[in-house]
Amino acid sequence: MGLPSINIEFKTTGITAIERSQKGTVALILRDESVSGAYILTNVTEIPADLTQENKEYIERAFLGYQTPPKAVIIYVINAEAEISTALTYFATQKFDYICLPPTGTPEEAETLKSWVLSERLNNNATYKAVLPNIEADSEAIINFAAEGLTDGEKTYTAAEYCSRIAGLIAGTPMNISCTYAPLTEINDITRLTRAQADEAIDQGKFILIHDGEKVKVGRGVNSFVTTVEGKGEAYKKIKIVEAIDMINNDIRTTVEDSYIGKYSNSYDNKCILITAIKGYFEQLEMDGILDKGKTSVSIDIQAQENYLKSQGIDTSVMKEQEIKEANTGSKVFIAASIKILDAIEDIDINIAI
């Protein structure tokens, strides 16, 4: 008879996780007078011909990617007088990974987009992230791109004009590596930083570019998060780690909503089916090098379940642990999980004896 459907759905989700992580989706807001509305592009040949040359190049830079190009670039075009809220209303109904302003976006619009992304993540379980030029946010969802003087030998670009390139680069980075030291081969030079300046900028949550004497490359794949708190430590500063967290949260939420909620009675046995399915999903991510092998656990959250039972007037002091696990919890399911996300190799110390 095979596994229950929830197990199958989680297994399939886990198997395809690495494939999906290799090609993210970029969302771009553009301003143009000849084109308007939304377009979903899967390659550069689909760029609307009537867009300005500046907008075409902005999209093309997004498609450069890194290990792979982005899976898609979704654009929403507004005119010069329109508020970006028009585009954000559309993007609130779309699935994407990184969003950018028009290359001529203002600091006020950057603040608006930052607030929108943070609100969507907090209130609507979204996993959106934004690449914005020179903006302090102290958030794992905002990449503060702070490079200047980018030149290809013919033209010099601002950080705002190159945000789409960075969004595409990150979106094209597989989940099992990071974008640290990813080269931007089309760029010849930048406004160069000393090692001390680069270290300070990274510590301040800035996504910078460096020149190593031969090529321009990403300094380190960090977001703007700098102020660690309990439950959100140093790991949240890494784009790679946050990408994995967002993917796992989205995968579990979507699969549970599509294949579990409302489709099973809330019995102890069915809770165990869900726990087994999630554990199988984590094991697949271990095989793909996203999670540390043997470091995952999934079980009924005894403490949360006991607190719920107490809130219902049930005396748990006379109950054994297994009885608490098997207790009727109405429509509530309490699960505790623990995982260890693998980082990429970035810091190497080598001692050579001669």
Question: What average pLDDT does the segment 283-296 reach?
Answer: 91
> pTM for the whole thing?
0.90
**Which SS3 state, helix, strand or coil, does residue 75 take?**
strand
If asked whether residues 225 and 270 sit together in one domain, one would say: no
pLDDT of residue 16: 65
Count of domains for the chain: 2
If asked whether residues 127 and 36 sit together in one domain, one would say: yes
pLDDT digits (tens, 9 = 90+) for 34-63: 999 999 999 999 999 999 999 999 999 999
pLDDT digits (tens, 9 = 90+) for 299-311: 999 999 999 999 9
Task: Judge contact between 235 and 341, C-beta under 8 A.
Answer: yes
If asked whether residues 76 and 21 sit together in one domain, one would say: yes
Range of the domain at 321: 264-338
User: Strands (DSSP E) along the chain, which ranges?
Assistant: 25-31, 37-41, 72-78, 98-100, 129-133, 142-145, 150-151, 156-157, 206-207, 209-211, 216-218, 297-300, 335-338
- % of residues, the chain, pLDDT over 90: 79
244 within some domain: no
If asked whether residues 15 and 100 sit together in one domain, one would say: yes
If asked whether residues 70 and 174 sit together in one domain, one would say: yes
119 within some domain: yes
Question: What average pLDDT does the segment 134-163 reach?
Answer: 96
pLDDT tier at 1, thresholds 50, 70, 90:
very low
354 within some domain: no
d(CA 198, CA 196): 5
If asked whether residues 125 and 12 sit together in one domain, one would say: yes
Mean pLDDT of all residues belonging to the chain? 92
If asked whether residues 234 and 304 sit together in one domain, one would say: no
If asked whether residues 270 and 226 sit together in one domain, one would say: no
pLDDT of residue 70: 96
If asked whether residues 186 and 76 sit together in one domain, one would say: yes
Tell me which H or E stretch contains 183.
Answer: none
254 within some domain: no
